[in-house]
Structure 1
Amino acid sequence: MISKKIEMNSQTFFPMHFPGENMNERSIRGGYHVLFEKIVVKGLWCISLAIIILLAASCSSVESDWEEACKKNTVEAYEHFLDSHPKAPKLIIKKAYERIAWAETKQIDTPGEYLMFNNDYPESEFRDECMERLNWASARKKNTIRAYEKFISDNPMSKYTSRAKELLKEVSGKMETDWQEAVKSNSYDVYASFIRKYISEHRVFEAHNRLMLIAEKKWRTLLKKLRNINQTGKPALSSVPTDFHLVLVPRLKRLLFIQEYIRPGSLSESSQKPNLYIIYNYDRGINLGSRSSYSTTATYLRTQELWVFAKLIFSQGDTIEVIGKFTGHGGLGSRTFEDIVKNTFKKFKKLGLPKNIQGYLESIIGYSTGLYRYPGFQTRIQAYIAAYILKKAPYWSDKWEAKLLLTQIKDPDAVEPLIALLNDKEANVTARGIAAHSLANIEDNRVVEPLIAALKDKQSGVRQSAAQSLRIVKAPRAVEPLIAALKDKDSGVRMSAASSLGFIKDPQAVEPLIAALKDKQSKVRRLAAFSLGEIQDPSAVKPLIAALKDEDEKVRRSAAISLGKIRDSHAVESLIRALKDRSKIVRQAAAESMGEIKNPLAIEPLVAALKDNSSDVRKSAAEALEKLGWDSKNVNKRVILLIHKRNWDECIKIGEPAVKPLIATLKDKDRKVRRGVAYALGEIKDPRAVEPLIMALKDKDFGVRSEAAISLGQIKDPRAIEPLIAALKETKYLHEAVLSLKEITGKDFDSYPQWYNWWKKRQKQDNQ
């Protein structure tokens, strides 16, 4: 074709014959003609070859520069690559930014930075190393014996384990040295300093006991300063020593709680002033003293109190009366927490104050026990405090904090107070339910029997919580009580029992669960079907096939999923019929299950399901066909499967053969599918996609329009210029359209009027 055009053009310049021309002249001119033709042909071929070489060099340059950057593996190398190749493939650019972030994270080397990287790049190639470094950085930051022991236990094969062992030995040795010095000095300040420094280590409890003996003398001196507070009226205020930093605000009919904390190290040998004095307004639990005004729950009081002295004061105008007082080793002395509350309320009741005030008092009294961080005590005390707050506190904010505290406790020391709360008939259903769930989170054999017993509680909410909790415990001896609970009069209890039996997976539950498929409540039937799938007993196949005709779509869906888990070929025909169910969630579940069973009879119905109205059904059908090995070597059929699976990256790898089916899918009803198709067509860069993508600029979905604009810029076809300029009127994706226009034209305008005027001028020039 090219040679013919050249011949025609050469004859235009050199005609074969001029009038009056002799043969010699004609032959000379013919030689020029041939020479010109050869020069032009060679020139065109050289230009074409140069273009091909430049394109290949460009691709080769990107790959070689990327390999070089990876080899150097530095922030500077990756940044240089990004500056040199701003239009490199998206995947490479993404990796470059990720590696820059990883290098900077390692350089900073703090737990916070590793957490931030993990959140920003959850699928990163460096995820495992990031988690290892996070654990190591956390251990180094704490720099305690327990922190290093935990790291060594959790990461025995880590490259940091040997260093952790060295630091563990170093910290342990330092602690023993400090302990010997503390014992030798036997002074309040040295023991207090040791406790603050090694608050989570095993020696601290012994230091606490030694410190208590020394602190008792100081404590008794403090008590003398408050004896006169038993007076009433204004003299009571004036009798408070000035060095107590006490702020007492009398309110009409309000209970105030005065609590003194004696911390380790707060009292020096020369001074006997208390470090902290707190007053609570019982009406709202608001702190009127020196701590934060929102310290209303036990979770906020994280001091290491050694001894507590407290008085409960009732104020009415200028009248102040002492309701009661109590002392103790933060609840760890001879008087237990329950004793403190009980004895205080004996005095409280004698005053004849309204009963509703008791609710205000009890949650605050819990704080007097302190929150010891000493091994073996912290968890139990926290559980007791949170349980009392949950049971008695009048405000939901208090209860919410207590609930959070209880659900986070996983220490066996909390079992006893949680069982007490679960069995407390006076507590509300919510509190007892939280106790049940909290017990389930603790790995201790003592939790099973109380939860089983709670299945017979009078309150249905407690029975339901117990049944749910046994799902987590998974104790075999809970199976029979849960089977009995399948006949409970409350549907919520039956639901929870059915679900828990599925998690325990005991075969003796199969027959009772089959019977539960006929329960009058659809939610019970649904969970019974689910649990039968978890147990995977073949005897459940026929009942589950029957459940495919249930009136509730969620029951039918659950039955279809369970049949797939059991993987019995007898269910295939029923699942094929379920592919035509009126509910798309049932059709989707049927397709997924046939992929699990892998029976060849399902291929034809699944192929038909690729035309389903629901993109979710089509996706599940495609995934099932892939598992069945449906013509995986046939490119056209593979493309169809990939499109329905929404695997756009694989479609892009296939390239040109994927273009036609992708264009056909650009009219899919699902906007997410249309977005993915528009993206894939832009990456493939086939000119056939230009017109369909121009039409997609008018799609009703913003995301589709945006992807179409970006893809047109990647293809760089001049046909897209005018449609993209028109698209600038819609400011929602002005940025994408402008970028694409710059890619196609090489012009650098930012607004619609600029592009519009430029385009009009160009059209006039073309017409001239």
Structure 2
Amino acid sequence: MNWFTGGAHGEAKRLITQLTDSTKRDAAARELIQLGADSVPPLIDALQTQDLGLLLYYQQILARIPSATPLLTRTLSTAHPIIRARVVEILGISKDKTAIPALLDAVKGEYFTVRSRAALVLANIGDAQVLSALLPLLKDRESEVRNAACIAVAKFCDPSTFDDITNVLLDDPIMDVRRSAARALGETKHPAALPFLMEALRDSSWWFEQEEAAADLLIAIEKMGSVAVAPLIEALSDKEGTVRKYAAITLGRIHDPRAIDELGMTIYDLHHEVGKAAAEALAKFGAPIVDIFIEALSHPESAVRENSLVALSKIQDERVVPVLIEMLQDPVKDVQRQALLALGALRDSRAIPALEGIIANRADREMSALAKQIIENIKKTNFLL
């Protein structure tokens, strides 16, 4: 049969066509793997496909043919750049260490798509000896390569490389690349990376009109876990309000009890966003910190009282509803309204008499209408229960 179809290569081509048929795909893939080296040239030719779904099958099959590596590595220096990049991905699937020399040549090649993918594959193979070849890519002229280099270098979790990654973190002209550096350092979860991330937090270019970038940076710091608590507590005293705000947010996410006292003091920060962030962070500790907010409700600054009411609305505790009802008598209308909204969030039937009193007093029609809606919601909730 092979003689009529052009030998083993012809048989391989026939089987490759069967990969388009979902009913024959698995059997054809097994036979292609069994054919071994004879399948490799036709499969490499098939990598030119525009069908990305089929491309994945071709790549997976080639990765499972051990004898494919020599021809794949030769292709890295001769094929079209698109094919070279796809071959690099195959070597990443197989993680064949014999491909390392060819991949090291690829990271020095002329095509940036190949350089970037080769860097990632070398990192996934995991041989630390390649680090010296990856570090220069952090200064590559192409942003895609610098992105990949940050991820690749950081995968080795080698503290001696963190300073090089930080040069990208702080100085790269492209913010997306700097974000890659932050994410990469965060993924290491290595305590030695934390000072560099904290340095970025104090760099205004990371948060001035850069909310998405700042979000990546905060996640990176959060991944450091408990070792980040002390530096973040220190940052609550930073001269920049935004730094204090982000420190409070991150402490709330890490949820370490050591932060409770400092966050409790920070809710009185007169920078509105800082006080609000601290209150939201503190609320995540739940019932044990209710007294902190109850005390804050007597503060002369109405913003402090409002932030405390918002926080209390997120805590399920028997002490909360009576306090919220009392705050309906606050001299500041915005605080009264926030107390009303907090009662609405908790949907506790104990609030109904106070709410009915607001409805009866039609002097403030907005508050009256809001109280009426809250009662309806409370009754619906109790009915469902």
- TM superposition score category, shorter chain reference: 0.5 to 0.7
Equivalent residue in structure 2 for 1:437, among 55, 59, 66: 59
Higher relative contact order (CA 8 A, sep 6+): 2
The equivalent of 2:337 in structure 1 is 695
The equivalent of 1:559 in structure 2 is 181
Between structures 1 and 2, the one with greater helix share: 2
The equivalent of 1:225 in structure 2 is none
Instruction: Summarize the Cα distance change of 1:447–1:644 in structure 2 as closer, same or farther, 3 Å threshold.
Output: farther
| Match runs of 1:662-677 below 5 Å | none
> 1:525·1:555 contact (CA, 8 Å) conserved in 2?
yes
One-letter amino acid of the structure 2 residue matched with residue 740 of structure 1: I
Does residue 535 in structure 1 map to residue 156 in structure 2?
A: yes
Cα distance in 1, alignment partners of residues 27 and 261 from structure 2: 55
Cα deviation, residue 475, structure 1? 2.4
Does residue 726 in structure 1 map to residue 378 in structure 2?
A: no
Equivalent residue in structure 1 for 2:113, among 458, 474, 492: 492
Instruction: Summarize the Cα distance change of 1:596–1:552 in structure 2 as closer, same or farther, 3 Å threshold.
Output: farther
Cα deviation, residue 689, structure 1? 2.9
Does residue 739 in structure 1 map to residue 380 in structure 2?
A: no
> 1:579·1:609 contact (CA, 8 Å) conserved in 2?
no
Deviation digits for residues 126-152 of structure 1 (CA, Å, limit 9, x no counterpart): xxxxxxxxxxxxxxxxxxxxxxxxxxx
The equivalent of 2:249 in structure 1 is 619
Cα distance in 2, alignment partners of residues 450 and 677 from structure 1: 66
Equivalent residue in structure 2 for 1:585, among 215, 218, 222: 215
Does residue 605 in structure 1 map to residue 235 in structure 2?
A: yes
Deviation digits for residues 625-659 of structure 1 (CA, Å, limit 9, x no counterpart): 83xx7356889479987942873xx4146544455
Cα distance in 2, alignment partners of residues 716 and 727 from structure 1: 13
Cα deviation, residue 579, structure 1? 0.6
> 2:120·2:149 contact (CA, 8 Å) conserved in 1?
yes
Cα deviation, residue 529, structure 1? 0.9
The equivalent of 1:388 in structure 2 is 17
SS in 2 for 1:424: helix
Between structures 1 and 2, the one with greater strand share: 1
Cα deviation, residue 693, structure 1? 8.9
Instruction: Summarize the Cα distance change of 1:718–1:426 in structure 2 as closer, same or farther, 3 Å threshold.
Output: closer
Cα distance in 1, alignment partners of residues 134 and 258 from structure 2: 36
Cα deviation, residue 482, structure 1? 1.8
The equivalent of 1:546 in structure 2 is 167
Deviation digits for residues 52-80 of structure 1 (CA, Å, limit 9, x no counterpart): xxxxxxxxxxxxxxxxxxxxxxxxxxxxx
Cα distance in 1, alignment partners of residues 68 and 304 from structure 2: 60
Cα distance in 2, alignment partners of residues 385 and 617 from structure 1: 61
Instruction: Summarize the Cα distance change of 1:725–1:599 in structure 2 as closer, same or farther, 3 Å threshold.
Output: closer
TM-score of the superposed pair, with normalisation by structure 2: 0.65
Instruction: Summarize the Cα distance change of 1:728–1:646 in structure 2 as closer, same or farther, 3 Å threshold.
Output: closer
Unmatched 5+ residue regions in structure 2?
268-276, 298-302, 329-333, 360-365
| Match runs of 1:243-642 below 5 Å | 335-336=1-2, 339=4, 387-388=16-17, 413-415=31-33, 416=35, 419-424=40-45, 428=49, 430=51, 433-439=55-61, 442=64, 445-548=66-169, 549-564=171-186, 565=188, 567=190, 569=192, 573-580=195-202, 581-582=206-207, 583=210, 584-585=214-215, 587-589=217-219, 591-592=221-222, 595=225, 600=230, 603-605=233-235, 608=238, 612=242, 618-623=248-253, 626=256, 630-631=258-259, 636=264
> 1:610·1:622 contact (CA, 8 Å) conserved in 2?
no
Cα distance in 2, alignment partners of residues 440 and 659 from structure 1: 66
Unmatched 5+ residue regions in structure 1?
1-334, 344-380, 391-398, 669-673, 699-704, 747-768
> 2:314·2:346 contact (CA, 8 Å) conserved in 1?
yes
> 1:482·1:501 contact (CA, 8 Å) conserved in 2?
yes
> 2:249·2:281 contact (CA, 8 Å) conserved in 1?
yes
Cα deviation, residue 457, structure 1? 4.5
Cα distance in 2, alignment partners of residues 661 and 587 from structure 1: 31
> 1:607·1:621 contact (CA, 8 Å) conserved in 2?
no
User: How many residue pairs are counted as aligned between the two chains?
Assistant: 338
Percent identity between the two aligned chains: 18
